[in-house]
Amino acid sequence: MNFRKILLIFLFTILTSINFAQEKTEFNCGNEFEIIETEIKSQETVSYKIVSSKKLYSKESFEFSEGIIIISDLNNNLNLEEIMKTVATIGVKNQLSEIIAFKSCKAVEIYYKISEPTLEQKNYLEKNLIGELKIDINKSLNKKERKRNKKKRDFIEKIGNESCAILANSKIENLSSEKLSNVVISKTSENVEKMMKVYDLSFEEGSILFMKDLTYYIIDNCKLVKEYIKTEEK
């Protein structure tokens, strides 16, 4: 199977599942909660559920995700530092670099689905919002891994921005998965030597992984592609 066919399949999978976060709000709060140790004396474990997480890079490379979580049994007597430490513990384990944490499913429903909440709903949401947190996942890695990840991130962002600039010359109605794949494949071909140094993999493995990472980046950061995806969802 050639690279073009692989990428087209990959793009189709990504584009058809882009509404993942919204779909994952339909869940049963009574099931599938995980237990994690907090290292906090007053509450040694908590039960949590990841409602949604959005990949910013592929898992094989290095995954930094934005996530919505529920912690169902958080001790109300914990101070702010202990709460944030608990949320951070969940984030590091699940490689979530940006987290919004709630106490209940109802709060998540309001957050996601109600564009103009009532005063009562706003009060409920405020009461059940645990907090928002950003985590530098790289701090949990060794120096070599951090250096490697920075090289990849810088490389992906550079080529991603160049790719977006190329796509920006197209009108949204003329954009397609085929056109996006052509740009990604073209930019990969232009940067083979650099890609192999940054990824430190064989040509085939590195190319496929880089195309995945580049596609994730473009989908998340290129305005035209975001607008195209919204158009396709209607």
Taking residue 21's Cβ as centre, other Cβ atoms within 10 Å add up to: 15
Residue 208 covered by a domain: yes
* Total of domains in the chain: 2
Domain-ending residue, one of 89, 109, 140:
140
The parts of the chain modelled with pLDDT lower than 50 are: 1, 16-28
Domain-ending residue, one of 90, 109, 140:
140
Same domain, 57 and 146: no
pLDDT of residue 24: 40
What does the alpha-carbon distance between residue 140 and residue 152 come to, in Å, rounded to a whole number?
Answer: 17
pLDDT of residue 59: 56
pLDDT of residue 23: 37
pLDDT of residue 61: 56
What does the alpha-carbon distance between residue 88 and residue 94 come to, in Å, rounded to a whole number?
Answer: 10
Same domain, 82 and 158: no
Regarding pTM above 0.85, the answer is no
In the numeric block, which tokens belong to residue 137?
């996942």
Same domain, 101 and 90: yes
Which residue range forms the structural domain that includes residue 75? Answer: 32-140
pLDDT of residue 168: 83
Same domain, 66 and 82: yes
Q: How do residues 79-95 score in pLDDT, each as one tens digit?
A: 999 999 999 999 888 88
SS3 for 52? strand
Same domain, 58 and 129: yes
Q: Which residues of 49-88 are buried (b: 16+ CB within 10 A; e: fewer)?
A: bbbbbbbbbbeebbbbbbbbbbbeebeeebeeebbbebbb
Domain-ending residue, one of 116, 140, 164:
140
Q: How do residues 140-192 score in pLDDT, each as one tens digit?
A: 777 887 788 788 888 999 999 999 998 888 777 777 777 888 888 888 889 99
